[in-house]
Structure 1
């Protein structure tokens, strides 16, 4: 798909495209979930794409219940922004988007945060099932505005824990307040299958994990050990290299209240990268389908808990 495609220039074509993606198995009501009595309202008195549910009697369009709901930005510009986000390896700045599609910077910033919300996987199944291998590591970025203590070493930095399933290529990342067994071990136990092999570095918070998984092996970076056979954390460190190039080279600044959405963006692209034979159009369509049920308001996105 190229940028001259009609879905990027015509809002009706864009709406029809989104309908095909969201309602591939048939139209359903986003209010009550009804599927049997959804009728398209025709005629000049109704706007294009308007439906009515025969069960709850409410009207709706394809954008209701998605991140695109109640937006004044034409839907064709939303699809273009989604395609640009899906096709960029290390992200695209809101300034670049506002120049490209002709919206204000604030609008472009909000659009990208909505799209990041649609990129959020929400997958709850443990990683590494069936005896797979999961790598775990942590990194630091920016400054944590909530930290009031010493700026010694990494303590004043925002902290990120990432897990990468070596077999499926999936990545899952978390913003954490502290690096300790108390904070990290529950995340590992909840997100990694007990039959998995866990690969980490020599950090002290990874100790005492052998009984929780099929195996726990580590490399000792303090002794310049980065691989011992298949024992390595190079895969997750490769993910961090892409993440940091994007955060430092493209976005440059990120508040802690928004960091989890940037992580969702990089997790999505890494988990669905070209190396897995998933092209840009497929990634964009995955975002459009995943936008269902993820309404994001301006108040929520700017709140401290966003």
Structure 2
């Protein structure tokens, strides 16, 4: 599956029509450098077509594309989680948890907690620098998101896949 190159939410949901489309994309990113079983370190596997999970040929440990990522144990569906991540990465203004809750038919606390996970993944890190020409808006000193929406989304998904799972209990509320 190719990277998403569109800019509109309509194009986005046209590309990711189902949770399975999202799982396929996650598996492509997660195992782009090859698969190694997290239990026995074996590198031979079988792909489960139902959800793109990897089944180790030695110990038969099954690892989901969402395992040990920020998408791990998301109860409202990977497609909705992708949509929320896309909207947060593609909009120039902040979006509230109440707006996300209404758009994606989730509770406000669920939206708030997932958005917190996404924001944590979006924080600057040296491990996933942006590539190519990066334009800075001279007024707000922020990335010109209208030009690089697909780059921002791909970078965010990459960070979310590479990040460790965060339990909701681990999110600290700062005043």
1:98 aligns with 2:105: no
Q: Is contact 1:118–1:294 with CA below 8 Å preserved after alignment? A: no
State the SS of the aligned residue for 1:52: strand
The residue aligned with 1:287 is 156
Secondary structure at the aligned position of 1:39 is classed as strand
Report how many residues are paired: 158
Compare the two structures and name the one with the higher strand fraction: 1
The 1:287–1:301 alpha-carbon spacing in structure 2 relative to 1, beyond 3 Å, is same
Map 1:103-252 to 2 at 5 A: 103-123=106-126, 238-239=140-141
1 CA distance for matches of 2:40 and 2:77?
26
Q: Give the superposition deviation at 1:100.
A: 1.2
Is 1:64 matched up with 2:67? yes
**Structure 2 unmatched ranges of 5 or more:** 1-5, 128-133
Q: Using the TM superposition, give the Cα deviation of residue 84 of structure 1 relative to its aligned residue in structure 2, in angstroms.
A: 0.3
Shift, 1:59, TM fit: 1.3
Determine if contact 1:7/1:14 at 8 Å carries over to the other structure: no
Q: Deviations over 1:224-282 (max 9, x none)?
A: xxxxxxxxxxx7x944xxxxxxxxxxxxxxxxxxxxxxxxxxxxxx3xx227x951111
CA distance in 2, matches of 1:15, 1:87: 21
Structure (1 or 2) with the larger CA radius of gyration: 1
TM-score (norm 2): 0.74
- Please say if 1:24 is aligned against 2:32: yes
Contact 1:7–1:17 at 8 Å: present in 2 too?
Answer: no
Q: CA deviation at 1:97?
A: 0.7
Q: Secondary structure of 2:109's match?
A: helix
In structure 2, C-alpha distance between the alignment counterparts of 1:98 and 1:33, rounded to whole Å: 40
Higher relative contact order (CA 8 A, sep 6+): 2
Q: What secondary structure sits across from 2:9 in the alignment?
A: coil
Deviations 1:120-163 (A, max 9, x none): 33328xxxxxxxxxxxxxxxxxxxxxxxxxxxxxxxxxxxxxxx
* 1:175-233 CA-partner distances (Å, limit 9, x unpaired): xxxxxxxxxxxxxxxxxxxxxxxxxxxxxxxxxxxxxxxxxxxxxxxxxxxxxxxxxxx
Give the distance between the partners of 2:78 and 2:57, measured in 1 at CA.
26
Contact 2:35 2:44 in 1 (8 A): no
Q: Secondary structure of 2:95's partner?
A: coil
* Cα shift readout 1:45-90 (whole Å, capped 9, x = no counterpart): xx42221234664211111111110111211111111110001123
Q: Within 5 Å, which residues of 2 pair with 1:242-281?
A: 270=142, 273-274=143-144, 279-281=148-150
